[in-house]
């Protein structure tokens, strides 16, 4: 087993969609590579695998390669003994084991950088992001810009056919034709079942 000379750490990059999480993750990975650290990058995904390799792209167009995973145990299996930095994007989709995986890696000296959306379309905690933020040494909570009013945005607005998705729509939609907007707390809309949707748009 590899014994690192430095202490491992967990860093979390959290926030809404469009807040710059991927940009920040890519930036940290690039800097680790400049420092000649041995880096492995993973990305949680819900769709089919594409040839064992995927990409992390930011909305500004920068990209890095990543290994697609759909279970946290796969990350643990794939990390090589001499890897110094492990970056994981889209962490909100990973199972509960991700907290233990990040903790175990940090425990053996790895710098773990995780990025993910910390609230779902309802504005509620998403997956294990909250726990990861609790066990991390460092948390960067990013905000986007509200597309309605221009304030800072801390919520993901889900739209289905251009209208706010209801509270009871599923947390994770795969290929559901939905769209997302960054919005502030005031402009965020999540109609309940019994509300007249036309009234609150």
Nearest CA to 113 among 29, 200, 190, 2? 29
Indicate which of Zn ion, ligand ADP, none lies near residue 23 (CB less than 5 to 8 Å, by partner kind): ligand ADP
Neighbouring-strand partners of residue 66: 54
Longest dimension (CA), the chain: 61
- Sole window of 15-23, 41-49, 78-86, 97-105 interacting with ligand ADP (rule: CB under 6 A): 15-23
Q: Out of 90, 124, 131, 178, pick the active-site residue.
A: 90
**Rule CB under 5 A: is residue 146 a binding residue for Zn ion?**
yes
Q: Is 11 a catalytic residue?
A: no
Binding Zn ion (rule: CB under 5 A), the pick from 104, 139, 160, 187 is: 187
Pair 121, 15: CB distance under 8 Å: no
45 and 54 in contact (C-beta within 8 Å)? yes
Binding to ligand ADP (CB under 6 A) within 145-174 occurs at 145, 147
Residue holding tokens 């995986």? 101
- Write the binding mask 96 to 135 for ligand ADP: x where contact by CB under 6 A, - elsewhere: ----------------------------------------
- Both tokens of 139, joined, read 């948390």
Q: Which of 36, 46, 86 shows the shortest CA–CA distance to 66?
A: 86
| Among ligand ADP, Zn ion, none, residue 149 binds (CB under 5-8 Å by kind) | Zn ion
Q: Are 133 and 92 in contact (CB under 8 A)?
A: no
18 belongs to the binding site for ligand ADP (CB under 6 A) = yes
Contact call for residue 152 and Zn ion (CB under 5 A): no
- Chain residues binding Zn ion by CB under 5 A are 146, 148-149, 151, 184, 187
């Amino acid at each position: 087993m590899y014994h690192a000379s430095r202490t491992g750490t967990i860093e979390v990059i959290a926030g809404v969609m469009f807040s710059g999480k991927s940009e920040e993750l890519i930036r940290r990975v690039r800097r680790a590579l400049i420092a000649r650290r041995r880096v492995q990058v993973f990305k949680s995904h819900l769709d089919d695998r594409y040839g064992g390799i995927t990409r992390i792209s930011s909305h500004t167009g920068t990209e890095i390669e990543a290994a697609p995973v759909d279970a946290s145990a796969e990350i643990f299996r794939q990390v090589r003994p001499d890897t110094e930095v492990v970056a994981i994007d889209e962490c909100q989709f990973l199972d509960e084991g991700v907290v233990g995986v990040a903790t175990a890696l940090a425990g053996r000296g790895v710098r773990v950088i995780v990025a993910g959306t910390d609230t779902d379309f309802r504005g509620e905690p998403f997956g294990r992001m909250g726990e990861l933020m609790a066990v991390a040494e460092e948390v960067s909570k990013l905000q986007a810009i509200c597309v309605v009013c221009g304030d800072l945005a801390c919520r993901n607005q889900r739209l289905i056919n251009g209208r706010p998705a209801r509270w009871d729509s599923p947390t994770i939609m795969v290929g559901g034709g939905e769209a997302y907007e960054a919005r502030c707390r005031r402009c965020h809309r999540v109609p309940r079942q019994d509300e007249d949707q036309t009234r609150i748009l």
